[in-house]
């Protein structure tokens, strides 16, 4: 009887052990499945948050520095646009192979501010405008000043105050890049300076707008203007025919826009009806070539910016005859203006040049006296 009882107990214990083992195994298997699934979902979520691959990924790694490893889509787009702009406006590298001193630092500052502005900034009406003059060096000033981390500039010319004013300020504001409260919003349209309605329209937007005017020897400017037009319309009359009503009598045709733009004092008098002279800064197109750091230093002072853009950022490109920005450490190429900048001027007879110098002299002198600056064009 006792033996039969022990045998029954042994069988029960064996069955219990088997069932317990199977239950424990199933429990372990279920937990393993749940854990693995959670890990997979977590990884998928992480992958979803990673930034998509960018054509500039290699350069971006150096540029971003301590910025978040995962940049926003807007930042990636901005990097792609910057790289495209550099590819489209570069020249052979001579001194440009030397990176700008502290290039990584200012590039990081610029990129960091741009990243934050893209995420948290607002589109605002511009605080400052480059209003002129055509063929004076406005594109160079824009490209040079926009490397400053506290400046966000519109790359294209909106022509709001001369051609698109009827579209309204909301349309104009929507064109602007996003900026932080500490940043300056800037745009460039050189034709504003010679548009009679422009100063009245600008002051109605804001009485405190700062105005930058890039001026150049009016004779050289007119020849440059003509050279540009000739490249697009090769069948136009000669420079001499357009510049004079009667060359033998020295009668200059002031109705020709290339001549009239250079009569700076006439246009300035219109602006001074709406703006104080202290709100205007005049950049010398000549000194912008020979001393870009000095001219840009004064522009930064005028805008109330710290002098970050210095001579360490520039080198002189002998092919273009114009200064270019040294390449940042994050870029393999320098940053020069496009092919249309620095083109060889049409050869003009020396007597024609002297006649135009005599014509412009009284206008120049009055302009010097008004702005309190001698540009030494005479």
Annotated binding residues for 3'-phosphoadenylyl sulfate, written as ranges, equal: 135-139, 216, 224, 341-345
Q: Which residues pair with 322 in a beta bridge?
A: 317
| Torsion-angle region of 102 (φ positive above 0: left; ψ -120 to 50: alpha; else: beta) | left
72-76 CB contacts, 8 Å cutoff, 24+ apart: 72/115, 72/118, 72/119, 74/118, 74/119, 75/111, 75/114, 75/115, 75/118, 76/51, 76/52
C-alpha 329: how far from its chain's center?
18
Q: Which residues are annotated as a binding site?
A: 135-139, 216, 224, 341-345
Nearest to 172 by CA among 129, 210, 214, 207: 129
Burial class (CB in 10 A: 0-12, 13-18, 19+), 316: middle
Which token pair is 295? 């001219």
Tell whether omega for the bond before 133 is within 30 degrees of 0, i.e. cis.
yes
Helix (H, G, I), strand (E, B) or coil at 185: strand
Catalytic (active-site) positions: 135
């Amino acid at each position: 009887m006792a033996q039969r009882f022990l045998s029954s107990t042994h069988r029960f214990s064996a069955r219990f052990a088997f069932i317990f083992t199977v239950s424990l195994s199933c429990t372990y298997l279920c937990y393993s499945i749940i854990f693995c699934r959670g890990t997979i979902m977590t990884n998928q979520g992480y992958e979803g948050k990673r930034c998509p691959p960018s054509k500039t990924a290699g350069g971006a790694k150096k540029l971003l520095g301590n910025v978040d490893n995962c940049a926003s889509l807007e930042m990636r787009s901005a990097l792609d646009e910057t790289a495209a702009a550099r590819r489209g406006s570069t020249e052979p590298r001579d001194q440009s192979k030397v990176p700008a001193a502290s290039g990584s630092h200012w590039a990081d500052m610029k990129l960091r501010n741009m990243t934050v502005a893209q995420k948290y900034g607002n589109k605002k009406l511009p605080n400052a405008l480059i209003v002129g003059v055509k063929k004076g060096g406005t594109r160079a000033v824009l490209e040079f000043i926009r490397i400053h981390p506290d400046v966000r500039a519109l790359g294209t010319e909106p022509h709001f105050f001369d051609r698109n004013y009827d579209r309204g300020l909301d349309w104009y504001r929507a064109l602007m890049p996003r900026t932080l409260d500490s940043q300056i919003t800037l745009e460039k349209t050189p034709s504003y300076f010679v548009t009679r309605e422009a100063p009245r329209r600008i002051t109605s937007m804001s009485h405190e707008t700062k105005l930058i005017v890039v001026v150049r020897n009016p004779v050289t400017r007119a020849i440059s203007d003509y050279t540009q037009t000739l490249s697009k319309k090769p069948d136009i009359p000669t420079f001499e025919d357009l510049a004079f009503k009667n060359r033998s009598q020295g009668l200059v045709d002031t109705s020709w826009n290339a001549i009239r733009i250079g009569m700076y004092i006439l246009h300035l008098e219109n602006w001074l009806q709406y703006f104080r002279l202290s709100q205007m800064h005049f950049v010398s197109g000549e000194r912008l070539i020979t001393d870009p750091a000095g001219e840009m230093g004064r522009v930064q002072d005028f805008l109330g910016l710290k002098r970050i853009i210095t001579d360490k950022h520039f080198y002189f490109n002998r092919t273009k005859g114009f200064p270019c920005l040294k390449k940042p450490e994050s870029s393999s190429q320098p940053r020069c203006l496009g092919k249309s900048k620095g083109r060889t001027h049409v050869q003009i007879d020396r007597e024609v040049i002297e006649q135009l110098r005599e014509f412009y002299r009284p206008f120049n002198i009055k302009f010097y006296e008004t702005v309190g600056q001698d540009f030494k064009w005479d």
